[in-house]
Each structure stands twice: as structure tokens, then as C-alpha cells.
Chain A
């Protein structure tokens, strides 16, 4: 049971002067319960790719399978897919429109045709999951702060209780505090509910801490697809395509160059610290 992409190609504005191959021969499989990160800079095709996963964009060529079913099959119910694969767009607060936060979060489950009590129950739960306090529920979404708006918008997707949650740059434009809050909440969601989470980002340092797998996109192709440690080993190549490994990777490399026997695979501050201390202790 998973999402599977086979030989996916996508061409923008096919047949016009602006024709552009956005995705080339993508093959991916996302098993249930995985916490994956998709990295690439603007124009690498990462946003286009994730919009295929819930059928908002139809591939020019290739197939997407959800739980083994071809989503392009004639009798496939797209609306059903969209409730199972929740997609949170970049700057999702721009989609808020209702009179108050609670009603806005109800929009998704209401569209699923659920009874009123169930809709409200889900909305309530979703808002709690994103850590929005009850005193904000009846406020206009436009009175909230940037980070709160963002969380309300994410709750709007969560209320549909998707099996897969995809977030396109959920921290864009937020300050460090807002960013950490959102990432922590997503990590907790993944841990508690065991849903599959795909985090799209252009910041390595942000996602290295959380994900178990990193998919690096470049010019519409998958360039690397592995565990964070394995991916960061390619720091030179990552730099060439305008991405960088977390700063600690460079520290470890530099220390290694100077003859210290440190662990090159350290990607977080804590791992680096442990490795350096171990190395010192070993010597001393």
C-alpha cells in the first residue's frame, strides 16, 4: 500500500511557444508511514511533482498508483484521492476565506459529504493538532498572525484526515520561531498518527532533522534519493545545483581534512558534537 510513480513525464503548455518539459522520467515509491523530504530549488519541478500525487496535474506520460490503483483509470474517483492525499500548498493561508477559523477548517470535511457532527469533530481535532488555541476558533482568519494563519490552513487539510500529508514549503516566509513550531507539529503528527508525510523544502538544515529519506530534484529529474546521510555525502554536487548540505557537514569535512578522524555522516549539531567529543576522547 503506497504511492507509486512510474515513468512520469510532464510537459507544460504542450504545443505552444512556451512548451517546457517540467518532469522527466520520474520513478518513485512512497511506502506507508514514511517521512520523506523533497528538495530542489525553484523550477526544479518539485511543486509540479507533488501536484501529481493527488491528481491536480495529470501526467503527460506515465502512471501514478495509489494503493495499487491507477489514478488515471477511467472509473477512478479523483475526489476520493484528494481526500486521502492531503496537499498543503505554499503560503496556504492565501486560501482562507470563511468568516471564522473554525468554519474555514470545516470546508474540507464538509466537501467530503460528512454529517455535521463529524465535520465539526474533525475540524476541532485538526485545530487542536496544529496547536491553535480555542480562543482563536471563532476569530476571522485575517486577524491571526502569520504563523497562526499558516497553522489554521494546515488544519484545513488535516480535517479531511488524509492518509498522506504533503506540504509544499510549509515554513516559507515564517520567522525561526514560527518555522520550528510548524516543523515540530508536523513531526509530532507523523509520530502520533503514523501517516505518510512528504515535506517539500529548499532548506536542507530544516528537513535534515526530521526526515528519513531525501529526494533531491534537479531540472525535472530525481538527482538523489536516499537517507539524509547518504545524500549529504554528495555535498559538492549539491552545491553545484544550488543546494547546500547542512553547515555541520562542512565542519566535519574540514576537520577530516585536517587529519581528525570524525564521522563524516553527522548531519545534525548533536551528532557532530558527539563525534568530535568521541574523537577527542579517543586521542586524549
Chain B
């Protein structure tokens, strides 16, 4: 059933990484990604590999779940690698027909591949170990300082969590409306782009109307339960940093120093 599609890909397990505060995980993922672009050296990437391996180990999530995310971007990854390989000018290494692979091109391509792969695995670690709710909570609390410059942090987080709640419902509704229109002889498959686009009208109009009706109902229900924005709101389980989060930040610092050292000292 379409309802079973869950957004995000949380993998339930009891691990240190799962228990970390979502803010810690958000910061760590961000720092990790930046570090990949900041320290462009093979030695540094060795450090990053070791760090990533340790985190994956600690998360108790099977490795195959980690690489699942890669499948979706495989094409993009290949294109990036190929472009970099063939289109970077420099010392020629091999020549195939009209295309030249240069030493510089090869290095860039390899770096690019590693960066993208690690970027995706890194963020997968976060989404696999954090429920979408924790994530929005983390964003809301972590970004709260932005409130001062009039960024509606609470509202954005609320929108995200409502979206998480309603996407499966709307997916199912799409399925239902499609079937209902097919029962009236609608054809969603055949025809050219123009005909296909036109055939979407009987699906999209009811879907939008339904979404608006739901939004209207939900707004009323929220109001009836005393919702008046983020001000004065408490949380049942407010986010709190624990000792393990301190340890995590410390490890992150050590990782950064190691990256820096690796790039400086090893120099390759």
C-alpha cells in the first residue's frame, strides 16, 4: 500500500548515534560535509573514511542501508565524474579517440566521487538514525537564534512536521482519485507529453481541492486545540543536551584536527 511509504528512512535501533540529540547530529553532519570540501587531500579523506566507518559501526545500522541512498544519485555521480575526467585541461595521461584524460582531470574526478559519496552516506547516517520529528525539533531549536532576525523558525518546523504527516495521506488519495478516474475511462499512460499533461487535470483538480479542504480542517482543529504560534508553547520532551552529546562534539573536534593535520603533514 502506498501508505507504507514513509518519508525519510529512519532505521529503528538502539545505539549511541540514535540517542544523540538531533541538533548534535545536524551540526556534525554539516561539519562533516564542509570538511570534505575544505580539506582536499587523499590523506584527509583517509581520516574522513575512518571517522565515517566508526560512526556507521556505532549506529548499528546495516551498511547496505547506508549505500541505498547512493542508488538514487548514481547517474548524477557518474556524469560528474565523467565530466571532470574528460573536460579538465592539464597533462594528458590517456587518449581515447577525441577525448583526453588528464592527470588533473583524474584527480578531480576521484575527489569529486569521494566527496559526493561521503556526503550522501554522511547525511544517510543522520536520516537513518533520527526520526523526522526529532529532525524538525532539532531544526526548530537549533535555529532558534535566527528568530532574532525574523526568520520564522517555529513556523517552518511546524510546516515540515505537518508535511510529514500529510504526505502519505495525499499519496494514498492520489492513488484513489487515479483509480476513480480510470473507472471513468481516463487514461493516464498513453499519448504524447501534451496529452499526458492534459490527462492529469482530472487528477490534479480533485487533489488540490482535497488538499485545501484538509488544510482548512486542520487549521480549524489546531485552533480549537489552542494553537497560537510558537510563543508560550512548551514541549512534552524538550530537547536537552546530555553528556554523550558533549562527547560527540569532542570527537568532532578531534576529527577536524586530524583532517587538518592530515592535509598539512602528509601533504598528498
Instruction: Tell me the A residues contacting B by CB distance below 8 Å.
Output: 12-13, 16-18, 20, 51, 54, 56, 79, 82-83, 86-89, 92, 94-97, 107-108, 111-112, 142, 156-157, 160
Chain A contacts for B1, CB-based, 8 A: 12-13, 18, 20
Chain B contacts for A95, CB-based, 8 A: 177, 180-181, 184, 202, 206
- Indicate if B110 sits at the interface (CB-CB under 8 A): no
A107 touches B183 (CB 8 A): no
What residue of chain B has the Cβ atom nearest to residue A99's Cβ? B205
Min C-beta distance of B161 to chain A, whole Å: 23
- 8 Å CB interface, B186-207 against A: 186-187, 201-202, 205-206
A97 touches B205 (CB 8 A): yes
Contact with A along B163-186 (1 / 0, CB 8 A): 000000000010011011111111
What residue of chain A has the Cβ atom nearest to residue B201's Cβ? A97
- 8 Å CB interface, B206-264 against A: 206, 209-210
Given A94-B210, A95-B206, A97-B201, CB of A107 within 8 Å of CB of B179: no
Q: Lowest 4 CB-CB distances: which A-B pairs, in order?
A: A111-B185, A97-B205, A108-B184, A95-B180
B206 touches A97 (CB 8 A): yes
**Per a CB cutoff under 8 Å, which of A89, A97, A111 touches B187?**
A111
Chain A contacts for B4, CB-based, 8 A: 13, 16-18
16 contacts between A and B (CB under 8 A): A13-B4, A16-B4, A20-B1, A82-B183, A94-B173, A94-B176, A94-B177, A94-B209, A94-B210, A96-B206, A97-B201, A107-B186, A107-B202, A108-B185, A157-B183, A157-B184
Min C-beta distance of B196 to chain A, whole Å: 15
Chain B contacts for A51, CB-based, 8 A: 179
Chain A contacts for B176, CB-based, 8 A: 89, 94
**Per a CB cutoff under 8 Å, which of A16, A111, A142 touches B184?**
A111
Using A107-B202, A160-B185 as known contacts, list a sample of 14 further A-B pairs with CB atoms less than 8 Å apart, ordered by residue number in A.
A13-B4, A17-B4, A56-B179, A79-B185, A82-B182, A89-B179, A94-B173, A94-B176, A94-B206, A95-B177, A95-B180, A107-B186, A142-B209, A156-B184
Chain A contacts for B210, CB-based, 8 A: 94
| Dominant secondary structure at the B interface | helix
Of B177, B179, B187, most A-chain CB atoms within 10 Å = B179
C-alpha spacing A215/B254, complex, angstroms = 69
Min C-beta distance of A42 to chain B, whole Å: 14
What residue of chain B has the Cβ atom nearest to residue A153's Cβ? B180
C-alpha spacing A97/B205, complex, angstroms = 6
Of B176, B179, B180, B206, most A-chain CB atoms within 10 Å = B180
C-alpha spacing A51/B184, complex, angstroms = 13
B184 touches A107 (CB 8 A): yes
C-alpha spacing A112/B186, complex, angstroms = 9
C-alpha spacing A86/B209, complex, angstroms = 24
C-alpha spacing A264/B69, complex, angstroms = 64
C-alpha spacing A108/B202, complex, angstroms = 11
Chain B contacts for A89, CB-based, 8 A: 176, 179-180, 183
**Per a CB cutoff under 8 Å, which of B173, B183, B187 touches A54?**
B183
Chain A contacts for B205, CB-based, 8 A: 97
Chain A contacts for B187, CB-based, 8 A: 79, 111
B185 touches A112 (CB 8 A): yes
C-alpha spacing A16/B177, complex, angstroms = 24
Chain A contacts for B184, CB-based, 8 A: 82, 95, 107-108, 111, 156-157, 160
Min C-beta distance of B61 to chain A, whole Å: 16
C-alpha spacing A41/B105, complex, angstroms = 65
C-alpha spacing A49/B183, complex, angstroms = 15
**Per a CB cutoff under 8 Å, which of B182, B185, B201, B202 touches A56?**
B182
What residue of chain A has the Cβ atom nearest to residue B176's Cβ? A89
Min C-beta distance of A167 to chain B, whole Å: 11
